[in-house]
Amino acid sequence: MRIAIASGGPAALPEWQAHFQAFDPAIEVLGWEAAQADPAGVRYALVWQPPHGGLAALPDLRLIISAGAGVDGILDDPLRPAHLPIARMITDSTPDVMAEYVLSAALMLLREGRRMALNQAERRWDILPAPRRMQDTRVGVMGLGQLGKASALLLARAGFPVSGWSRTPTELPGVRTHAGVAGFDAFLADTDILVCLLPATPATQGILGARTFERLPAGAAVINVGRGSHLDEPALLAALDAGRLSGAVLDVFETEPLPAASPLWSHPAIIVTPHYGATPSRRDRAQHAVQLIHLAERGQPLPHLYDAARGY
Active centre residues (catalytic): 227, 275
For ligand NDP, which is the closer residue by CB, 58 or 144? 144
Which residue's beta carbon is nearest to the bound ligand NDP? 145
Residues 6+ apart with CB under 8 A from 216: 188, 189, 191, 192, 194, 245
Q: Which helix (H) or strand (E) holds 33?
A: helix 32-37
Exposed/middle/buried for residue 284 (C-beta within 10 Å: 0-12, 13-18, 19+): middle
Q: Does 166 bind ligand NDP (CB under 6 A)?
A: yes
Neighbours of 24 (CB within 10 A): 16
Q: Does 2 bind ligand NDP (CB under 6 A)?
A: no
In sequence order, what are the beta bridge partners of 179?
166
Q: Does 163 bind ligand NDP (CB under 6 A)?
A: no
Report whether 5 contacts 29 (CB < 8 A).
Answer: yes
Q: Which part of the chain contacts ligand NDP (CB under 6 A), choosing from 41-49, 66-74, 118-126, 152-160?
A: 66-74
For ligand NDP, which is the closer residue by CB, 206 or 243? 206
When computed from its CA atoms, the radius of gyration of the chain, rounded to whole angstroms, is: 21
Q: Does 75 bind ligand NDP (CB under 6 A)?
A: no
Which of 275, 283, 291, 294 is the binder for ligand NDP (CB under 6 A)?
275
Q: Does 91 bind ligand NDP (CB under 6 A)?
A: no
Which of 29, 225, 289, 290 is the binder for ligand NDP (CB under 6 A)?
225
Residue 208 DSSP label: B
Phi, psi for 124 (deg, rounded to 5): -110, 125
For ligand NDP, which is the closer residue by CB, 32 or 101? 101
- In the complex, the residues that contact ligand NDP under the rule CB under 6 A are 68-70, 90, 98, 143-148, 166-168, 170, 197-201, 203-204, 225-227, 251-252, 275, 277-279, 312
